[in-house]
Amino acid sequence: MEFTPTAEQQIDRSKQDPASLGNTNDGLKYDIGRESLDFSCIYSKDLLPAEDGKEATKHFFQELVNILLAYVSKSLKHSSKILDFHHPHQFKDGLEGFNLELPDQPDNLEQLLVDCRDTLKYGVKTGHPRYFNQLSTGLDVIGLAGEWLTSTANTNMFTYEIAPVFILMEEIILKKMHKIIGWTEKDGDGIFCPGGTTSNLYSVLLARFHHFPAVKTHGMCAIPRLALFTSAHSHYSIKKSAAVLGIGSDNVIVVKCDERGKMVPSELNSSIEAAKSKGLVPFYVNATAGTTVYGSFDPLNEIADICEQHGLWMHVDAAWGGGLLLSNKHRVKMQAIERADSVTWNPHKMMCVPLQCSAILVKRKGLLQECNQLCAEYLFQPDKQYDVSYDTGDKSIQCGRHVDVFKLWLMWKAKGSEGFEAQVNHCLENAEYLYYKLKRRTDFEFVFTGKPEHSNVCFWYLPQRVQNMPLGPERDRELHMVAPKIKAKMMEEGFTMIGYQPLGDKVNFFRCVFSNPATQRQDVDFLVEEIARLGCEL
């Protein structure tokens, strides 16, 4: 099937009212050219696999791709809006004719295309250079191409027989990641899974099985009461994993951090000793490489020493920091990561791969398989004609798995390791630029002192009124309300987006993160001015 229509395929579209095809988006002209069909008379049943559905399918996708590429282009435009905020009840009331309810009878393709436009119109442009709201930002067009191909291939990482190419790509990418971490050829296993929280859950599961293999069949009743350790600044997924795995969230011992959000090794050591004296059995330490809020790196080498000394599994949650391993300049922040037993690394964060793309990397070969396999022969037949060690379904906890690896593979081909390095360095340069910019201003105050290690810059905006207040609880109370108010206004206006949160004894502050290579200094300038403009009267 060709995508570009020939002259014979040109169809009169005089019947069609372009305006009916959706809301005009900020001057983006709607014109699908000379070869469109009247979609109001066509239904999904007229598309492939219908006998004569080729042409209609082609035209429908051409139209769709117009909409999608217009969105991409707009997403990457600095001055465009990021969002057009509406409350849930507004959508439910059938906002401007956008009807979310599900019909009994089919809608025509014209209506579907309007729905596609509306879905994008009322969504959030996470690829926008001024979207700083999450650790995952940006829209890499090669990654996007990878996702389109992945969904067209529509297969499953369950077995080699149904996903041979993707299974091999996963193996090659995992090996590359092992090498980058610094593991030797004989070490290294892993799997891509749905997000960093799941990757971290895998790490706790593996550590428990490594120390107490009986748990798999006999459960927690057969093994001692466990304790695991993670820092006060670490991600909540460690506690979540302990709750899910039946260890109990209270048995996660929270280790103190220094003022930069780094785990204090001596505190780890004394926490381990204290747990032991209470009769708990320590088995696992999570060190974070790139904390969610401060972007801090725990001292991996010292933590590895302690783990070695106590015989504990060392996990490094580098969901956010992992990308820095690709930068010769910045990878030093993760020195000794090769001493870890397992590593979480999300390419969908700092490497700007489309969601989702997260790996759990395991040093000990074969452990994933041992820990998770149940050898259900009705699912994994041992008597197939190929090497069935390539069937990955039984080493996962999900059984079937989405293909998350192709987009990353294609981006790696497109950029090379060097391209990823440049991209990571650029993001950290943006953070440095913001840091020095704010340092010169009196209406902004940093949450922690010193240059950020990752691309997280944490700060308060201080309206004049708050600047004039003496330090103390009253000022804190006022300051706590500033960020939410600015954020609410910011979302109503829709030109930039940044997250805020309280943390420990720090009242609500903004956290700016850079993971979008499209972001430039002008965008950083815009953010700062926008916060000041929206906040100065508060």
Q: How many residues bind a copy of itself (CB under 8 A)?
A: 175
**1 is a contact residue toward a copy of itself (CB under 8 A):** yes
Give min distance, CB of 196 to a copy of itself, in A.
Answer: 7
Residue of 258, 419, 476, 478 that binds a copy of itself (CB under 8 A): 419
Q: Which is nearer to a copy of itself, 219 or 529 (CB)?
A: 219
The DSSP call for residue 399 is S
Number of residues that this document lists for the chain: 538
* Pair 247, 226: CB distance under 8 Å: yes
Q: Which is nearer to a copy of itself, 349 or 363 (CB)?
A: 349
Residue of 23, 40, 44, 425 that binds a copy of itself (CB under 8 A): 44
* Pair 149, 406: CB distance under 8 Å: yes
Residue of 418, 470, 472, 473 that binds a copy of itself (CB under 8 A): 418
For residues 65 and 439, give the distance between their C-alpha atoms in angstroms, rounded to a whole number: 44
Q: 88: which residues sit within 8 A by CB, 6+ positions away? A: none
Q: Which is nearer to a copy of itself, 155 or 469 (CB)?
A: 155
| Subset of residues 110 to 149 that bind a copy of itself, contact rule: CB under 8 A | 111-112, 115-116, 118-120, 122-124, 126-127, 129, 133-134, 136, 139, 141-142, 144-145, 147-149
∠ CA 256-461-127, rounded to 5°? 85
The DSSP call for residue 80 is S
| Subset of residues 465 to 504 that bind a copy of itself, contact rule: CB under 8 A | 481, 484, 487-488, 491, 497, 500-503
Q: Which pair of tokens denotes residue 433?
A: 């630029």
| Subset of residues 300 to 359 that bind a copy of itself, contact rule: CB under 8 A | 354-356
| Subset of residues 383 to 402 that bind a copy of itself, contact rule: CB under 8 A | 383-387, 390, 397-402
Q: Which is nearer to a copy of itself, 188 or 354 (CB)?
A: 354
Q: Which is nearer to a copy of itself, 265 or 535 (CB)?
A: 535
CA 196 to chain centre: 8
Residue of 379, 469, 532, 536 that binds a copy of itself (CB under 8 A): 379
Give min distance, CB of 236 to a copy of itself, in A.
Answer: 4
For residues 513 and 451, give the distance between their C-alpha atoms in angstroms, rounded to a whole number: 14
Sign of the alpha-carbon dihedral angle for 195, 166, 183, 335 = negative
| Subset of residues 142 to 181 that bind a copy of itself, contact rule: CB under 8 A | 142, 144-145, 147-149, 151-156, 158, 160-169, 172-173, 176
| Subset of residues 269 to 298 that bind a copy of itself, contact rule: CB under 8 A | 292-293
For residues 5 and 120, give the distance between their C-alpha atoms in angstroms, rounded to a whole number: 27
Q: How far apart are the first and last CA of the chain?
A: 59
Q: Which is nearer to a copy of itself, 206 or 337 (CB)?
A: 206
Cα atoms found within 13 Å of the Cα of residue 454, Cβ hemisphere only: 33
Residue of 22, 323, 347, 517 that binds a copy of itself (CB under 8 A): 517
Q: Which pair of tokens denotes residue 49?
A: 């696999």
Residue of 10, 26, 69, 436 that binds a copy of itself (CB under 8 A): 69
- Coil, helix or strand at residue 286: strand
Torsion of CA 226, 230, 232, 237, to 10 degrees: -90
**87 is a contact residue toward a copy of itself (CB under 8 A):** yes
Give min distance, CB of 301 to a copy of itself, in A.
Answer: 27
> How many CB atoms are located within 10 Å of the residue 417 CB?
11
Q: What is the 3-state secondary structure (H, E, C) of 29-79?
A: CCCCCCCCCCHHHCCHHHCCCCCCCHHHHHHHHHHHHHHHHHHHHHHCCCC
Choices 37-45, 182-190, 266-274, 328-336; region in contact with a copy of itself by CB under 8 A: 37-45
Give min distance, CB of 9 to a copy of itself, in A.
Answer: 12
User: What's the maximum distance between 2 C-alpha atoms anywhere in the chain?
Assistant: 83
- Coil, helix or strand at residue 201: helix
Residue of 24, 381, 464, 522 that binds a copy of itself (CB under 8 A): 381
Give min distance, CB of 447 to a copy of itself, in A.
Answer: 12
**508 is a contact residue toward a copy of itself (CB under 8 A):** yes
